[in-house]
């Protein structure tokens, strides 16, 4: 048996309420009409004799097709012991009202020995001493009757009858009102049950018949107390539980995957920073050290001192700029569109400072708070940096235009110059080939597209588009 099947059976066992023992039942309906003594419907399922000492409860529902007010008849649910008639409950020949017959007592208003009119919550009238203080069977007015037999060994059995008792959920035997309760003694030994009708009218229809060991077994539970509803509730609970577990596990897996992705991104960023420190700062510091040595060696040559000092200043500036880039890359507050655009503006202003080439910036303000992973942000900056450096060193441009556009799901950056340009089909220099290759690889790494347009004598345009909808959120 699977684990879920075991859970299901366990919950069903816990959820199913304890019920009294139903010894026999017949839901019917069964129509009886002019059938004399009737025939046995019990077939030996239950029986009691004069030695019995327990208690049984009997229930049946009747729908009269005869009206006592105009038709004389008898009908009933009767116990038989072999061929001997015992206690019957229904309507006796001359009782007219709902009544018991073959009892050991006779009702105050009854004329036939052994007849006992039954109390009802719907009597015909309240005139004392008249059968009208009892309920007459009426055509089309159904009634449920429950009677209890407390068996007394070798003595008169104690009988209690309720006409149309309250069987709603929460009701009990003790809560039944006296107005519909009748007590008497009778011989209720039996091994058969007969349904009977004799006389006028169209008979009686019997249904919902049962014998039980407790009054509570006849109580009609609320729909939410029924087994089918409990089973449905348990099934829905299992489905909800399984769904919740699946959602929790899925979210946990997504969190772990996201955490692992962030860890890998962090490791890549750490490796990149270490590489930048080694390559940029290391080479710059080595160059500064070399220039310092040359400066010291040529200290007696003013022209060489001036030349080396200029190179030393340039190397120091490059080192400071490289250090700024590394600090900006690792600073947590830099992981946004706004920080990227602001740093591009800062870098461009410093790069073109004291240079005849004019740099015109067309960058948006108050950008949306869109986060950018460090590697995406850094690669975008390096592509722009390469484009600006190429425009300054190789294009011979009078003006460089930097423009950024941000939409709901994309970032577009344009770097245009009015320099000498080049024919893309012509062989490129080693430095230019290396730089363009780096730009394309960086764009592919972050899932962006890089377009390069250039014509000899008409300048160059570098266009970078990065998708912000996918792959850029941390």
Domains of the chain: 21-220 (2.60.120.560), 335-474 (3.30.565.10)
Measured CA distances, 50 to 106, 154, 158, 273 (Å): 21, 5, 13, 102
3-state secondary structure of 182: strand
Residues 6 or more apart in contact with residue 442 via CB below 8 angstroms: 379, 382, 383
pLDDT score of 282: 67
Cα 57 from Cα 46, distance rounded (Å): 12
Measured CA distances, 382 to 196, 216, 274, 388 (Å): 103, 84, 16, 10
Cα 427 from Cα 420, distance rounded (Å): 16
3-state secondary structure of 89: strand
Locus of tokens 């120091």? 316
Confidence (pTM)? 0.51
Could you report the average pLDDT of every consecutive run of 10 residues in the chain (474 residues)? 46 46 92 94 94 96 85 93 96 91 93 94 72 84 96 95 92 92 97 94 94 92 69 88 91 87 73 65 71 72 75 72 68 75 87 88 82 82 88 86 87 90 61 71 89 86 84 42
Closest by Cα among 353, 343, 277 to 317? 353
Measured CA distances, 332 to 224, 272, 311, 374, 446 (Å): 57, 16, 34, 9, 20
Measured CA distances, 73 to 98, 194, 422 (Å): 12, 16, 120
pLDDT score of 172: 93
DSSP 184: E
Cα 395 from Cα 20, distance rounded (Å): 99
DSSP 93-134: TTT-SSEEES-SS--TT-SSTT-EEPP-SS-S---TTSGGGS
Cα 52 from Cα 404, distance rounded (Å): 101
What is the distance in angstroms between the CA of the first residue and the CA of the last residue of the chain? 45
Closest by Cα among 110, 77, 80, 113 to 96? 110
Locus of tokens 């022209």? 303
CB 350, CB 388: distance < 8 Å:
no
């Amino acid at each position: 048996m699977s684990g879920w099947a075991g859970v299901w059976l366990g919950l069903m066992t816990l959820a199913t309420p304890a019920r009294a023992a139903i010894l026999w039942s017949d839901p019917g309906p069964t129509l009886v009409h002019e059938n004399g003594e009737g025939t046995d419907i019990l077939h030996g399922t239950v029986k009691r004799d004069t030695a019995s000492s327990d208690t049984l409860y009997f229930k049946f529902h009747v729908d009269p097709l005869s009206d006592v007010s105009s038709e004389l008849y008898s009908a009933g649910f009767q116990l038989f012991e072999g061929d001997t008639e015992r206690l019957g409950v229904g309507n006796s020949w001359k009782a007219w009202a709902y009544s018991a017959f073959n009892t050991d007592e006779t009702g105050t208003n009854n004329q036939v020995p052994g007849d006992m009119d039954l109390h009802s919550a719907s009597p015909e009238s309240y005139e004392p001493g008249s059968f009208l203080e009892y309920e007459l069977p009426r055509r089309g007015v159904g009634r449920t009757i429950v009677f209890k037999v407390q068996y007394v060994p070798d003595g008169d059995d104690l009988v209690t009858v309720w006409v149309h008792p309250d069987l709603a959920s929460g009701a009990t035997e003790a809560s039944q009102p006296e107005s519909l309760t009748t007590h008497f003694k009778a011989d209720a030994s039996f091994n058969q049950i007969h349904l009977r009708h004799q006389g006028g009218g169209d008979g009686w229809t019997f249904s919902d018949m049962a014998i039980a060991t407790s009054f509570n077994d006849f109580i009609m539970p609320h729909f939410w107390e029924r087994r089918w509803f409990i089973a449905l509730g348990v099934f829905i609970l299992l489905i909800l539980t399984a769904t919740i577990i699946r959602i929790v596990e899925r979210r946990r897996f997504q969190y772990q995957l996201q955490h692992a992705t962030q860890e890998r991104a962090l490791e890549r960023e750490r490796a990149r920073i270490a590489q930048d420190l080694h390559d940029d700062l290391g080479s710059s510091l080595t160059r500064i050290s070399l220039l310092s040595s040359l400066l010291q060696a040529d200290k007696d040559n003013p022209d060489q001192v001036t030349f080396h000092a200029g190179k030393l200043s340039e190397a120091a500036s490059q080192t400071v700029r490289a250090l700024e880039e590394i600090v900006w890359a690792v600073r947590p507050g830099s992981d946004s569109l706004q920080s990227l655009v602001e740093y591009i503006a800062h870098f461009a202003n410093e790069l073109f400072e004291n240079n005849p080439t004019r740099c015109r910036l067309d960058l948006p303000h108050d950008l949306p708070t869109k986060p950018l992973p460090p590697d995406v942000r850094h690669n975008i900056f390096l592509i722009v940096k390469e484009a600006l450096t190429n425009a300054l060193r190789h294009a011979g441009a009078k003006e460089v235009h930097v423009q950024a556009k941000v939409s709901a799901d994309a970032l577009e950056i344009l770097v245009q110059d009015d320099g000498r340009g080049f024919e893309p089909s012509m062989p490129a220099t080693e430095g230019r080939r290396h730089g363009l290759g780096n730009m394309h690889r960086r764009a592919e790494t972050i899932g962006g597209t890089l377009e390069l347009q250039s014509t000899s004598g008409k300048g160059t345009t570098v266009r970078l588009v990065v998708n912000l909808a996918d792959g850029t959120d941390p």
